[in-house]
Chains A and B, each alone.
Chain A
Amino acid sequence: MNGHLEQWLDAYLDGELDAIQILQADAHLKNCQACRMELEQRRALSQILREAPAPAAGKSDQRFVSEIALRLPRTAPAIRPESRPTAVWMMVPPVALFLAWAFIQSAMIVVGALQWLPGVEDAVRSGFGTGWIPEHAAGLALPALPAPGIWDVVFLTAALVGIGMLFTGWFAGWWAGQRTAGSQQ
């Protein structure tokens, strides 16, 4: 242990150190007169503070309790459920998944659509000669992505809409459940 005990001194005094820390503090206190004095001063301070008298009761217990009883609402305390994640946080995982999936699908649709455009394939192939597309990537380029047909696009769009509807349905059900639980309290 380097230096003085500082905050450890309070924790030592209050019995908040674990066994190993107590051994370390004891070893330090054995050799450090400044910390021993500080410890004694803090112990004395605690004693002085605890000797300070408690407030004298102004009202009798009965009167104190009666006054509170008179001010209590007639109804029982409202039962609150344990804290639940808020609506916003509940939405994060499904929205994130949906966005990720939508991004991937959109990227595929855009790449596929580009292949339909006249001259794009030639333009990309001409890039291999200029050096900005590596030669070894030639085999990986356009041939790997077959041109999508109209049914591919329809299918992808329908899938997106379907997932959107499923999520909206789930969220509406969850929201209705929340409102029902709230109204029962």
Chain B
Amino acid sequence: MTARTGDFDDNAFALAAKNGDRDAFCELVRRYRPLAVNVVYRMCGDAMLAEDAAQTAFLRAWEHLGSYQPRGSFRPWILRIAVHAAIDTLRRRKPEADLQEANEQPAPDRVEESVERRERAGRVRKAVLDLPEASRMVLVLKEYQDCSYREISEILDIPIGTVMSRLHYARSVLLQTLRPVAEEI
């Protein structure tokens, strides 16, 4: 597994948290919140739901810290938990594409450009959400988390060949669905 910047610190914090250090765990939460929220959001398309699911994922991470082994990296470990939280969230609630970016406030002179960009982003998000869950998960981990095939294979517990075929399928479907978007750019 590829070593990333901060892995050493992450492992030190994770080991401290494993021994009951809540501050160390809160530091990990602060570091990995964007990653966890992003994964769930790309899977379910709802920012509020993504925050709730990410909190659930961190609570689960605390429960499972006892089994964390610092041999690898903390990132795929927490990603794996976030992915399962996303799957649980999806099972509880059908995905609904939130096509409005609530917190984006464009400047008045760039309103038109901003509306276009938001519409395009909404279409992209909807196309991703329409993919089958299994392919979407692989695509999200590759495109939004930049995981290697090996990491995806370990996070999702599937062979690398399956990672390749699901990714190929997801991209092929998106190429068809998003052809108009690609032509606009």
Contact = CB atoms under 8 A, between A and B. Distances in A.
Interface of A: 6-7, 9-11, 14, 16, 41-42, 44-46, 48-59, 61, 64-65, 67-69, 71-73, 75-80, 82, 185
Interface residues of B, number: 53
Nearest to B48: A58
B104 interface: yes
A55 B171 contact: no
B178 A48 contact: yes
14 contacts: A6-B168, A44-B182, A48-B178, A49-B128, A54-B38, A56-B103, A58-B47, A65-B29, A69-B26, A72-B22, A73-B62, A77-B17, A77-B62, A82-B67
A49 B18 contact: no
B128 A77 contact: no
A3 B24 CA distance: 53
B116 interface: no
Given A16-B148, A64-B33, A69-B22, A52 B51 contact: no
B51 A10 contact: no
Contacts of A61: 30, 33
Interface in B123-157: 124-125, 128, 139, 142-144, 148-149
Nearest to A83: B67
B20 A71 contact: no
A45 B175 contact: yes
B87 interface: no
Nearest to A58: B51
Nearest to A79: B66
Interface string B160-172: 0000110110010
Contacts of A7: 164-165, 167-168
A52 B125 contact: yes
Given A55-B38, A56-B47, A65-B30, A79 B165 contact: no
Nearest to A56: B103
